[in-house]
Structure 1
């Protein structure tokens, strides 16, 4: 039986390493006297990385892709997908810029679905590989969400609307997908959209709602409301997916989930009655890196030796919108 599998994965982090204290200093420099240690108390002790001002989203995607392609100098890439919440421009699609920088000649397109952009790209790529449209698909992502953090004109009454952004970090990833007849790879994929909650978490600028309002280019939203909705809708969806795949939660050896705070992995463990030690924790290392967070967690699990041949892994995506995705694969 033919399956799609992630043959290789690489990531890229910018040079500037930022801690909570430095973020608080930037907030104070913007005119708001934030309490020292508040970020650690609210979102957890963490590090994140910020791209340079002249470092583009495409640059981070390309840096990760170059590391990957170094291992496959003779591999012909048939399709290139750029998948991210971020982008170099509104038009043209960022994939064109990535293609030019990598020197590729294959077709390509952008796929955007907030923090589930990469997980959705894996699902789309899987369908294209299984129907023999392509043999080798390269998925790349670059996230520069540090540009959407609000540091100025903050008031006590509204800081909560922008608080989640203080955990944002920048990163790039690249994944090579192909097929195999071995007993490994992706064997279940499903995602669901709950669009009635789209207004809970947003960056409003750059689209037709606010095309010329620069003040709307920062993150805002009801993150506490979002957390409550996720608590309500995600567990039954994930449990249904596990059952539909013919498994129990105990059959899953590791969960690589999108992480937005120190409490994300605990929430997943609690609501699924799952061993918290079997959830890959990366938030303290990289912060919330948007669509690159799930693949980074998966790569980290490989680097740390957390996975052995035959293990079953869940990629659990959660994104503004709201969108939830579940992907199960055998290593």
Structure 2
């Protein structure tokens, strides 16, 4: 159809028409709020590079989780900052680890809020890498058992879902196996399947104190130039037992979200990461953009690309706008 027979503007004339034909609807149910748990008491510590975000002690993280629950956000994801680190990240799978304590307390107070835990070692190792280090090599196979033990400890504490973010080959199968062997076959796995080695993670590494002490993570996180590899990664994780496939970061990889949505028959999540959040907040502070409008446009674009779930530090702000 061509002008003048077809006039697309006819359906843009009123707010009612625009709402009636809107193809993508962003809802509170699409959002997952990431939270940082830290050892101590009565701590609500600002994260300088992520304005409006904080590190919380266990008693304070419950209050923040309650805000999410009361906003209608269905789930949170918990990251931990341990009190001490070592080469094998033993506090990641300790029974009294920070994530384990936070999970127990949140589930005790808010049993209906879905609680997802990040499964990785980088916050817990003194070298800052996501796996066991031999020399300067990250040992993939030696790491798998530690990741599986971490996931199991989270589930025993009360986690409803685990999300391995390490990008070690074979970790989904290892985690699925240990959960099934311990009668947790009902616990789903959200796999960071296409996690790119991205410069957008900078603020998170400050927030979680997880920067590598040598080298970088290019030997296990994906090359930003690759697309077909993401499909192979997602397909492999699906075959190993993943229930949800995640793409991280979100905004620079909308094409990857779209491809995985089309080619992998599993729900798709996307992580609107710290750098994406920080850039909008910085531009808003300078008066260069309307922060709330850019936030909502960004989240809508991520959903339009095919993500059914969006992990975002904007979750509480976006929920307030949606609800009102």
Return the TM-score normalized by structure 2: 0.31
Return the TM-score normalized by structure 1: 0.31
Structure with higher helix content: 2
Structure with higher strand content: 1
